[in-house]
C-alpha cells in the first residue's frame, strides 16, 4: 500500500484501515448506505421503549457486564488501538481503556441520582407544586473521531444508554476496527438487539445519520464538519452536541513550579502525537523565566522516542494517523519557519521510518501571523511565545476563535483560579494539562468555535434527556383569581398584592 491510499475504496465502497506506522492494510469494511443507516435506526427505535422501561439498576447491570468484558479483553483492544491509530500501548491503556472503565463505573452508579425527579414550590403561588422529570430522548446518533476512537465512543454510548436511549454509533472511517470491537463488546455483554447499532462508513454514512429520523446527534470532530452538521440539524430543529477543535493555550507564570511545568508542557503537547483537541498548542512563558524554561523544555523533547509502537515500551511518540494530518503539520511548520520562526528541535517529516511520522518540534520566535499560532495543528508541535507579563499572556491566550481548554501554571492555586476567570475556555486546569476529558465526573464543553453542549459529568448526562415540567394544586380550588371574568375588584386586589410584595417587601418576609 502507498501513503496516498484513501480510507475508502471508491470502486468497492469499502473502508480501508491502515496501520499509520507501517502503512500496511489491516482491515476492510463495507460502507453503510443510507438504507443501511435507516434500517439500523428502525431497529434502535423498536428496541427503545423496552430499554427505557428498565430500571436504572437494570441498565447499570448491563453496563457493568460491558466493563467486565472490557477488563477481560483489554489486551485485544489495546493492540487494536495501537495498530489502527499508532499510539503507544501505554497510551492506549492509560488514555482509552482505563478512562472507559472509570466512566462505566461512575455512570452505572450515579445516573439514577443525577436524573432524579426534582420538586419545588412556586414562590408566589404557595398552593402550587412543581416537578421536573428527566426522560429519554429516544434514538440518538453518535459520530466519533479517530484520535480517541474508543473512550469517546464508549463514554457517549454509555451515557446515552443509562439515560434510557438507544444508540446508532458511526465510528471514524480511520478506526473501523475499534468500532467493530465496540459492537462485539456490547454483544458479548448480552445487550438486546437494536439497543446499540454500529454503522461503518465515510462522510456519506455520517450525513445519512444526521439526515435520518433520530432525536439528537452527538458529534466529535473538526469545526468544518461540525458546522455542516449544525446546519443540517437546524433545518429540522434537531438538537446537537458538538465537541470540536481547540487551539489550547498554556500560560507559564513567573512562579510556576519549574520541573512539573516543564514535564507538563512536554506531555501536554506531545501525548498521542499531539492529536488531542486539548493538546497544548500555544505556550506563553513569562520573560523573567523564559531563558531557563525554554532550554529545559527542549532538552525534555529531545528525550522523546519517536517510532512505531511495538509493545516493548521503547516508543513515546508514534505516527500521525493519516497522510492528510501529516501534510497539515508539515505545512504549518514550514509556514512558521518561512515567516521567521526557529525550530530548536525537530521540524522534519520522517519518511524514513516508514509511516506518517513527524519529529517532535519546538518552535520559538513565533508570531500571530503564522498558521501554527492560529489554526489547529493536531500534531507534535509546540510553539512558544515569550510574553512580558501575565496580562499579555491572557490577552494572547484569548486571541483565538477557539475556546476549549487552557492551562495555567503557578505556585498559587488562588492566583491560578483568579486568572482562570479571565480565560475564554470551557475548561481551565491549574498545573496540569489535557487530562480532564478522561474523568467521568468533569464536564467537557467549549466556547466560541470549540463546540456546543457538554459531555461528561452531570452537564453531559443532561444532554441525553428531555426535561418535563409537571405542575399541580396542593389543595383544590374552584377558580384561580386571574381567570374569567375580569373585574375591577380583582384588578384592585392585584394592585394591592403588587404593593405588598414588591414595594413593601412582604414577599421576602413570607
- Dihedral over alpha carbons 442, 155, 145, 354 (to 10 degrees): 100
| CA angle in degrees (0–180, nearest 5) for 243-245-251 | 115
pTM, two decimals, is 0.95
Sheet (strand 465-473) strand order: 118-121, 128-136, 465-473
Using the predicted structure, report yes or no on whether residue 274 has a pLDDT greater than 50: yes
- Summarize pLDDT for 429-468 with one digit per residue, the tens: 999 999 999 999 999 999 999 999 999 999 999 999 999 9
Using a 10 angstrom Cβ sphere, with 0-12 exposed, 13-18 middle and 19 or more buried, the burial of residue 222 is: middle
Confidence of residue 508 (pLDDT cuts 50, 70, 90): low
DSSP string covering 106-134, please? Answer: HHHHHHHHHT--EEEE-SS-TTEEEEEEE
8-state DSSP, 361: E
Name residue 143's beta-bridge partners: 170, 219
Using the predicted structure, report yes or no on whether residue 368 has a pLDDT greater than 70: yes
How is domain 8-244+457-466 classified at the CATH fold level? Aldehyde Dehydrogenase; Chain A, domain 1 (3.40.605)
Phi, psi of 122 (to 5 degrees): -80, 130
Cell 476563535, residue located: 401
Cell output for 499:
404593593
Q: What integer pLDDT is reported at residue 6 of this predicted model?
A: 56
Mean pLDDT for the chain? 95
Q: Domain spanning 249-445: which superfamily?
A: Aldehyde Dehydrogenase; Chain A, domain 2 (3.40.309.10)
CA torsion sign for 144, 140, 61, 469 is positive
- Summarize pLDDT for 32-50 with one digit per residue, the tens: 999 999 999 999 999 999 9
Using the predicted structure, report yes or no on whether residue 507 has a pLDDT greater than 70: no
Q: At what angle do helices 34-53 and 203-211 cross, to 10 degrees?
A: 50
Phi, psi of 343 (to 5 degrees): -90, 110
Q: Which helix (H) or strand (E) holds 196?
A: strand 196-198
Nearest by Cα to 181 from 311, 82, 319: 82
- Summarize pLDDT for 56-72 with one digit per residue, the tens: 999 999 999 999 999 99
**How do the domains of the chain map onto residue ranges?**
8-244+457-466, 249-445, 481-509
- Summarize pLDDT for 287-317 with one digit per residue, the tens: 999 999 999 999 999 999 999 998 789 999 9
Distance CA 252, CA 287 (A): 10
Nearest by Cα to 421 from 383, 439, 446, 394: 394
Distance CA 382, CA 374 (A): 13
Q: Which helix (H) or strand (E) holds 467?
A: strand 465-473
Give me the active site residues, please: 243, 277
Nearest by Cα to 300 from 346, 252, 249, 254: 346
**Cβ-contact 63, 107 below 8 angstroms:** yes
Spell out the SS3 assignment of 368-387: CCCHHHCCCCCCCEEEEEEE
Q: Which residues contact 10 (CB under 8 A, 6 or more apart)?
A: none
Report in angstroms the alpha-carbon separations of 162 from 11, 103, 157, 206, 473. Answer: 40, 12, 9, 24, 32
Nearest by Cα to 392 from 260, 278, 252: 252
The count of other CB atoms within 10 Å of the CB of residue 34 is 15
Phi, psi of 173 (to 5 degrees): -70, -15
Cell 459529568, residue located: 457
Q: Helix, strand, or coil here: 9?
A: strand
Q: What integer pLDDT is reported at residue 185 of this predicted model?
A: 98
- Summarize pLDDT for 156-194 with one digit per residue, the tens: 999 999 999 999 999 999 999 999 999 999 999 999 999
Using the predicted structure, report yes or no on whether residue 2 has a pLDDT greater than 50: no
Distance CA 116, CA 225 (A): 35
Distance CA 90, CA 317 (A): 11
Amino acid at each position: 500500500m502507498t501513503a496516498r491510499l484513501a480510507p475508502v475504496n471508491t470502486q468497492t465502497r469499502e473502508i480501508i484501515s491502515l496501520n499509520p506506522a507501517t502503512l500496511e492494510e489491516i482491515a476492510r469494511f463495507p460502507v453503510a448506505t443510507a438504507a443501511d443507516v435507516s434500517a439500523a435506526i428502525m431497529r434502535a427505535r423498536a428496541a427503545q421503549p423496552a430499554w427505557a422501561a428498565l430500571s436504572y439498576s437494570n441498565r447499570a447491570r448491563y453496563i457493568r457486564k460491558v466493563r467486565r468484558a472490557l477488563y477481560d479483553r483489554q489486551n485485544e483492544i489495546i493492540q487494536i488501538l495501537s495498530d489502527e491509530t499508532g499510539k503507544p500501548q501505554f497510551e492506549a491503556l492509560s488514555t482509552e481503556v482505563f478512562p472507559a472503565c472509570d466512566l462505566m463505573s461512575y455512570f452505572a452508579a450515579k445516573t439514577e441520582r443525577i436524573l432524579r425527579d426534582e420538586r419545588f414550590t412556586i414562590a408566589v403561588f404557595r398552593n402550587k407544586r412543581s416537578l421536573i422529570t428527566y426522560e429519554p430522548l429516544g434514538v440518538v446518533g453518535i459520530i466519533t473521531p479517530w484520535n480517541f476512537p474508543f473512550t469517546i465512543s464508549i463514554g457517549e454510548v454509555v451515557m446515552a444508554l443509562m439515560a434510557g436511549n438507544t444508540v446508532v454509533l458511526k465510528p471514524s472511517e480511520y478506526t473501523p476496527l475499534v468500532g467493530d470491537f465496540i459492537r462485539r463488546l456490547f454483544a458479548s455483554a448480552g445487550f438486546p438487539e437494536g439497543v446499540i447499532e454500529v454503522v461503518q462508513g465515510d462522510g456519506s454514512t455520517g450525513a445519512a445519520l444526521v439526515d435520518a429520523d433520530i432525536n439528537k446527534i452527538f458529534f466529535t470532530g473538526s469545526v468544518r464538519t461540525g458546522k455542516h452538521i449544525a446546519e443540517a440539524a437546524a433545518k429540522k430543529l434537531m438538537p446537537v452536541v458538538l465537541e470540536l477543535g481547540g487551539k489550547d493555550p498554556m500560560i507559564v507564570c513567573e512562579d510556576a513550579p519549574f520541573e512539573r511545568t516543564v514535564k507538563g508542557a512536554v506531555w501536554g503537547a506531545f501525548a498521542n502525537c499531539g492529536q488531542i483537541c486539548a493538546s497544548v498548542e500555544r505556550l506563553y512563558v513569562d520573560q523573567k523565566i523564559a531563558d531557563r524554561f525554554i532550554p529545559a523544555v527542549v532538552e525534555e523533547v529531545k528525550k522523546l522516542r519517536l517510532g512505531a509502537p511495538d509493545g516493548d515500551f521503547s516508543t513515546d511518540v508514534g505516527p500521525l494517523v493519516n497522510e492528510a494530518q501529516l501534510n497539515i503539520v508539515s505545512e504549518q511548520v514550514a509556514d512558521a519557519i518561512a515567516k521567521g520562526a526557529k525550530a530548536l528541535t525537530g521540524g522534519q517529516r520522517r519518511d524514513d521510518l516508514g509511516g506518517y511520522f513527524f519529529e517532535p518540534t519546538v518552535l520559538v520566535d513565533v508570531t500571530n501571523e503564522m498558521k501554527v499560532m492560529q489554526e489547529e495543528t493536531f500534531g507534535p508541535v509546540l510553539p512558544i511565545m515569550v510574553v512580558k507579563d501575565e496580562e499579555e499572556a491572557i490577552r494572547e491566550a484569548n486571541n483565538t476563535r477557539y475556546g476549549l481548554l487552557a492551562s495555567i501554571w503557578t505556585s498559587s492555586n488562588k492566583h491560578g483560579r483568579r486568572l482562570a476567570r479571565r480565560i475564554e475556555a470551557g475548561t481551565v486546569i491549574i498545573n496540569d494539562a489535557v487530562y480532564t476529558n478522561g474523568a467521568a465526573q468533569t464536564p467537557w464543553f467549549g466556547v466560541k468555535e470549540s463546540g456546543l453542549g457538554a459531555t461528561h459529568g452531570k452537564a453531559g448526562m443532561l444532554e441525553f434527556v428531555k426535561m418535563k415540567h409537571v405542575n399541580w394544586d396542593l389543595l383544590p380550588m374552584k377558580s384561580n383569581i386571574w381567570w374569567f371574568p375580569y373585574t375591577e375588584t380583582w384588578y384592585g386586589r392585584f394592585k394591592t398584592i403588587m404593593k405588598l410584595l414588591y414595594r413593601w417587601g412582604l414577599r421576602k418576609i413570607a
